[in-house]
Amino acid sequence: MNLLIIGAPGSGKGTISNNLIKDYDITHVSTGDMLRQAIAQNSPVGLRAAEYMNQGQLVPDSIIHDIIVERLSMDDIKKGFLFDGYPRTVDQAIDLSSILEQLHMKIDAVLELEIDDEILKKRITGRRLCPTCGEIYNIYSKPTKVEDICDKCGGKLITRKDDSLENLTVRLDEYHRNTQPVIEYYEKMDLVKKIDADKSADAVYDDIKSVLEGLK
């Protein structure tokens, strides 16, 4: 199964992806995670990406094209993929269509997480991440048992550099201007499944599982 998950910053893409990849045995491809890894490694791509990401702006399509082509050439993609946070512009979506055509692959569904911008403030400013195992927490909706320590692996939690209210305004603006047209692109292909993301994380995930059962 090949899926895309699209939604505003903080809508729950990463949280849902962590469950989906385990339950459906598909490969998680998060361009955000890949870019953050490149930044941590101080690679040329990372250095360029940081200029944009630290301000909440989208990274140029040319950089994204290169990392996606490289990622799609890896073997684990063959068992099925979940793209999280990609494509984010109509040009990226057109590019992806042409890359997938060359690889004789297709997208089965696009999960669109619908949520009001106002709710995202608490989700973004309250988010804490475990850099060791990737678990995602929230000081309001999913606190750890011991403050700033991962329940799963004992790692010290971090806050993402771009998770400020100031940055959220820019990220939301980027989302509405550049990424919502991507949903219209996939609506024309009848691939979009709309999901109400203003529910508990478990309830959202149950809705997604029902949608995916319907695809089988």
Residue 127 a catalytic site member: yes
Residue 177 a catalytic site member: no
Q: Which is nearer to ligand AP5, 107 or 216 (CB)?
A: 107
Provide the binding-site residues for ligand AP5, judged by CB under 6 A. Answer: 7, 9-15, 31-32, 35, 52-53, 56-59, 64, 85-86, 88, 92, 123, 126-127, 136-138, 141-142, 162, 171, 199-201, 204
Residue 36 a catalytic site member: no
Residue 123 a catalytic site member: no
Q: Closest Cα partner for 20 from 95, 87, 111, 105? A: 111
Q: What is the C-alpha separation between 142 and 144, in angstroms, rounded? A: 7
Q: What is the C-alpha separation between 37 and 31, in angstroms, rounded? A: 10
**Candidate list 48, 71, 122, 160, residue with the active-site label:** 160
Residue 142 a catalytic site member: no
**Candidate list 36, 123, 127, 128, residue with the active-site label:** 127
Peptide bond into 44 cis (omega under 30): no
Q: Which residue is nearest to ligand AP5 (CB)?
A: 32
Q: How far is the CB of 169 from ligand AP5 (least distance, A)?
A: 12
Judge whether 65 and 42 are in contact, CB under 8 Å: no
Task: Tell me the angle at which helices 90-102 and 61-72 cross, rounded to the nearest 10 degrees.
Answer: 30
**Candidate list 13, 36, 123, 128, residue with the active-site label:** 13
